[in-house]
Amino acid sequence: MKYQNSSNIFAYSDFLSKWQLFIQRYFDEYLDMWMLHVKQNILLPAGRQAISSDTLDLLRSRAASHYTHLLNPTVGKERDGNNECSLASLLILSGYSSVDILRISHFFYRFWEEKIDLLVADIDQHDFYKTVSSFLEMCFYEDQVAMFRTMESIKDRYFQQAILKNKKPMTWLEWRQDELDHLASLSGVRMAFVMRLNEEGELMFELRAGYLSTESIEEPNSEVLPNVKNSMITGQALVAQALRDYQIVSTPDFQTRPGSRIWSEKAKRWGLVSALAIPVRLNTNADRLVIVLFGMYENQFESPWMTEFAEVVQTKWEEKWSQYQYVTSKFVIEPVQADYYRNLLFTDGLVMVGQPIVSCQTGRVEKVELLARLQLPDGQWIMPNRFLPLLTNEEMDKLFQMTLDRAMTTIKAWEKESLSVNVTVNLAPITLAHPNCSLWIEELLRYHRISAQQLTLELLETQSIQEDVMELLFLKIKNLGVKVAIDDLGSGYSSILRLSRLPFDVIKIDQKLLRDFREHPISTMGLLYGLIQLGHSLGKEVVVEGVEYLGVLEAMKVLNATMCQGYYLARPMSLTEITGYIRNREIEPWDAEIHTFTGALAIVWLLYSQKTHITVTAFEDCRIAKFFERIGWYHEEAMGWLQALHHGGESFQENVEKGLAFLLPYAVNELKG
C-alpha cells in the first residue's frame, strides 16, 4: 500500500477513536516487550559492553516518541520521508547492525499483528480489522524505510567525510583544523582532539573541535597527561595505547576505562561517553599524533563499519602528511602567531644564510647551500621547521621565487669580488609540480644573467610525486642546464630506486646515517662506502651531510666522497661571513696526513673491504705510522700488525682484522670525546 493514500484509511471518525483506544490499551505493554527484546534478543557486536541504565532510559524515550508518531494516522500527511529517524540514529550509533535493526522492525510488526488478530473474534470489528491491518502493513513498510534510510545516511556522512578531499589551498595547520571540524560535526560526535607526542613521551593537546571548542579548557598538568613511556595509569590511557602500539583503539565507556578515570568527572560534565583514538604517523617517523573522537553514546565506535571508517581516516591523514612532510613541524603554533609569521615572512622578515659544501679532494668551497630563515623584529631567528608548515601551496611557490632571486643576487655579488661559487637552493615538490616552475627559473636566470650550471636545486622530498610525472618535471628543469640533487639517499629503499630511474646530478647522503657513526663506526662506514660507490658508478656527485667531527671528515675523504657538509666544516652563516670563509678556509687533500684514530680506522677498513694489499712500500711512508709518531704514541701490538701489513703475504687479511679490532675502541672513544 502506498504511503500517500494512508491519510484516507481512517476516514470514519469512529474508526479513528477506536484505533486510538486500541493503541492506548497496548502501548505500554509494547514498550516493555520492545525493551526486553532489545536487551535479550539483539545480537551485540564483539567488544560491546552491557547497556547501561542511562542508555536504556534514552532508548525507551526515543522508542516511545518514534512509535507514537508512527502509529498515529492523523500525522500521516505531515511525515517527511527524508527526515532521519531519531530512534534509528541512536541504534546505529550505539553499535547495532543492520540485522539488529531489521529484527527490531519485525518485532514491531509481529506484536501489533497479534493484537489486531484478537479483533477477528468480534464480527462487529471486521471492517475495523481490515482497516487497521492495512494501516499496520503501511507502518511496517514506513518503519523499515525510515530505519534503513537513517542508517545509510549516517554511514554515508561518516565515510564521505573520511574520503572527501578539500581542494582549497591550505597550510598543514589549516588542513588539520578543517578536517577536525568536519569530524566533530558528524552524528553522535561530541568533541574531537588532535594530540601531539613531545620528547618526554607526553601527549599534548594541539587542536580541538566540537563542543567547547571555542571556550577555554583548563590544561591538565603533566602528572595526568597520557604518556606512552609510562607503565603507570597515564600509560594506560586510550591515546597512549594507540600511539605506543600504532593501533586504532576504541572504548565503549570512556568514563570507566582504566587510564581515563582521572578524566571521568569532566567527561561526564561534557557528555563524553565513548571514545576512538586514531594514531597517525609518517612512515616510521618518531613525530606522531593521534586523532581522538568522543562519542555521545555507549559502544558508538565498536561496530565493524566504525573500525573501517577509522582506517580510512588514518590513511587519509597519513597520505596528506606525506605531502607536507618536508615542512612538518614538531612545534604547536597558535593560529594568530601563524598569521603573524606568514605576514612577516613576505614583508621584511626573510633572511638568507648559507652553509658551505667543501670538496674532499681540493679543500675548496665548491657550493653554498642557501637556507631561508625568518627574523623577528627583536632579532630572534625562527627556523624553517616552524614557519614552513604554516604556508599554503601558493605561498611555498612565492617563497621559492624569493629565495631563488636572492640566490642569484648573491652569485652576482660574489662575482664582483672575484669569487666563483655555485649555490644550492631547496625546492619543495609542490612547487616543482607547478606548471610554471621551469619558467620562473628560466626568467630569473635570464634577468640576473647567471649561468644555469651555477645553480643546483635540491629536492626536499620526492615520494609525494609519481615517478613518471617527476621525470617530466625534471626534464623541463634540466633542459635549462640546472643541476638537480636528491637529498634523502639512504633514508629508504625507495630513494635508491628513484636514484636509478630519475636524472639526478647530485646525491646527498642523508645525515641520519652518520648519527650511528659514534657508536658503530665500522658498520656505518660499510653502508656509507656502498652508497658513495653507487653514486660514483652512476656518474653522480656525492655529498655527505652531517659531518661534525674531524675523524668523520677524514673517514669520508678515505672513502672517496666528492664533497662534505656539516658543522665541523662550517655552520650556517650570514652571506657576508661566507665571503671571508671562502677566501681563508681550506682542508687538507684526501691523501694528506691523518690526525685521528677514526681516519686510521677508515684506512684499515678500506683495505679489509677491498681485500687488497697496502700500496705503500716503505713503512716510514705509512700515514698511520706517521700519525702514531706525531702524537708520540707507541704500542708494541699496534706496531706489530702495522709492520706486518707492509710485508703482505698470506697473513695480510688476518693482520687487517687485527688492526680493525685494535683501532676500533680508540676511534669510538675519540668520537665520543
Question: E strands within 180-332?
Answer: 189-197, 203-210, 249-251, 274-281, 288-295
pLDDT band for position 43 (cuts 50, 70, 90) = very low
Q: Do residues 184 and 41 share a domain?
A: no
Q: Which residues contact 558 (CB under 8 A, 6 or more apart)?
A: 590, 599, 602, 603, 606
In the structure grid, which three cell numbers stand for residue 339, read together? Answer: 598569521
Q: Do residues 622 and 543 share a domain?
A: no
Residue 153 has pLDDT above 80, yes or no: yes
Mean pLDDT to the nearest integer, 477-506: 73
CA gap 138, 157 in Å, rounded: 28
pLDDT cut 70: percent of the chain above it? 79
Residue 176 has pLDDT above 80, yes or no: yes
Domain that holds residue 617: 597-672
Q: 104 vs 494, which has greater pLDDT?
A: 104
Residue 49 has pLDDT above 70, yes or no: no
Q: Do residues 376 and 435 share a domain?
A: yes
Mean pLDDT to the nearest integer, 34-48: 64
Average of per-residue pLDDT values in the chain? 80
Residue 114 has pLDDT above 90, yes or no: no
Q: Do residues 54 and 127 share a domain?
A: yes
pLDDT band for position 4 (cuts 50, 70, 90) = very low
Residue 506 has pLDDT above 70, yes or no: yes
In the structure grid, which three cell numbers stand for residue 449, read together? Answer: 644573467
Our CA dihedral for 65, 68, 69, 71, rounded to 10 degrees, sits at 150
CA gap 603, 650 in Å, rounded: 20
CATH of the domain at 39: 1.10.490
Q: Do residues 24 and 141 share a domain?
A: yes
Q: 577 vs 640, which has greater pLDDT?
A: 577
In the structure grid, which three cell numbers stand for residue 199, read together? Answer: 620528547
Do 608 and 645 meet the contact criterion of CB atoms below 8 Å apart? no
pLDDT for res 573: 93
588 located within any domain: no
> Taking Cα atoms as reference points, which of 506, 494, 491 lies closest to residue 459?
506
Q: Do residues 150 and 230 share a domain?
A: no
In SS3 terms, 24-43 reads as HHHHHHHHHHHHHHHHHHCC
Residue 3 has pLDDT above 50, yes or no: no
Mean pLDDT to the nearest integer, 115-144: 76
pLDDT band for position 408 (cuts 50, 70, 90) = very high
CA gap 624, 639 in Å, rounded: 10
pLDDT for res 217: 47
pLDDT for res 492: 47
Q: Do residues 528 and 644 share a domain?
A: no
**Lowest model confidence (mean pLDDT) among 157-166, 168-177, 531-540, 547-556:** 168-177
Helices (H) and strands (E) in the chain, counts: 23, 15
What's the start-to-end Cα distance of the chain, in Å?
89
Residue 5 has pLDDT above 80, yes or no: no
589 located within any domain: no
Q: What is the pLDDT of residues 215-237, one digit of tens each?
A: 444 444 444 455 545 555 444 67
Residue 391 has pLDDT above 70, yes or no: yes
10 Å Cβ neighbour count for 326? Answer: 24
Q: Which of 114, 142, 161 is the last residue of a domain?
A: 161
Q: Do residues 12 and 80 share a domain?
A: yes
282 located within any domain: yes
10 Å Cβ neighbour count for 150? Answer: 22
CA gap 68, 65 in Å, rounded: 5
pLDDT for res 497: 62
Residue 312 has pLDDT above 80, yes or no: yes
124 located within any domain: yes
**Lowest model confidence (mean pLDDT) among 56-65, 70-79, 392-401:** 70-79
| Cα angle 151-293-318, degrees, rounded to a multiple of 5 | 100
For cell 598543514, the residue is: 172
Do 455 and 483 meet the contact criterion of CB atoms below 8 Å apart? yes
10 Å Cβ neighbour count for 31? Answer: 16
Residue 286 has pLDDT above 80, yes or no: no
Q: Do residues 109 and 198 share a domain?
A: no
For cell 484509511, the residue is: 9
Residue 290 has pLDDT above 60, yes or no: yes
Q: Do residues 49 and 136 share a domain?
A: yes
Mean pLDDT to the nearest integer, 347-351: 92
Q: Do residues 317 and 365 share a domain?
A: no
In the structure grid, which three cell numbers stand for residue 391, read together? Answer: 604556508
Q: How many domains does the chain have?
A: 4
Q: What is the pLDDT of residues 62-82, one digit of tens each?
A: 999 998 888 888 765 444 445
10 Å Cβ neighbour count for 618? Answer: 8
pLDDT for res 596: 92
pLDDT for res 72: 84
Do 22 and 132 meet the contact criterion of CB atoms below 8 Å apart? yes
590 located within any domain: no
**Lowest model confidence (mean pLDDT) among 56-70, 228-242, 333-347:** 228-242
pLDDT for res 375: 93
> Taking Cα atoms as reference points, which of 145, 64, 49, 159 lies closest to residue 94?
49
CA gap 520, 528 in Å, rounded: 12
Do 233 and 258 meet the contact criterion of CB atoms below 8 Å apart? yes
CA gap 172, 174 in Å, rounded: 6
For cell 652518520, the residue is: 514
Q: Which of 94, 126, 161 is the last residue of a domain?
A: 161
Q: Are strands 563-564 and 483-489 parallel, antiparallel or unpaired?
A: unpaired
107 located within any domain: yes
pLDDT cut 90: percent of the chain above it? 27
Q: Which residues contact 2 (CB under 8 A, 6 or more apart)?
A: none
Q: Do residues 263 and 125 share a domain?
A: no
Q: Which of 284, 303, 327 is the last residue of a domain?
A: 327
Element (H, E) at 301: none
In the structure grid, which three cell numbers stand for residue 433, read together? Answer: 609540480
Our CA dihedral for 194, 195, 196, 200, rounded to 10 degrees, sits at 180
pLDDT for res 493: 41
- What type of residue is 506? V
CA gap 537, 419 in Å, rounded: 31
pLDDT for res 453: 93
**Lowest model confidence (mean pLDDT) among 46-50, 546-550, 564-568, 579-583:** 46-50
Radius of gyration of the chain (CA): 36
389 located within any domain: yes
Cα 308–chain centre separation? 19
113 located within any domain: yes
CATH of the domain at 229: 3.30.450.40
pLDDT for res 207: 84
CATH of the domain at 402: 3.20.20.450
Q: 294 vs 287, which has greater pLDDT?
A: 294
Residue 45 has pLDDT above 60, yes or no: no
Alpha-helical segments (H) within 509-568:
521-537, 550-558
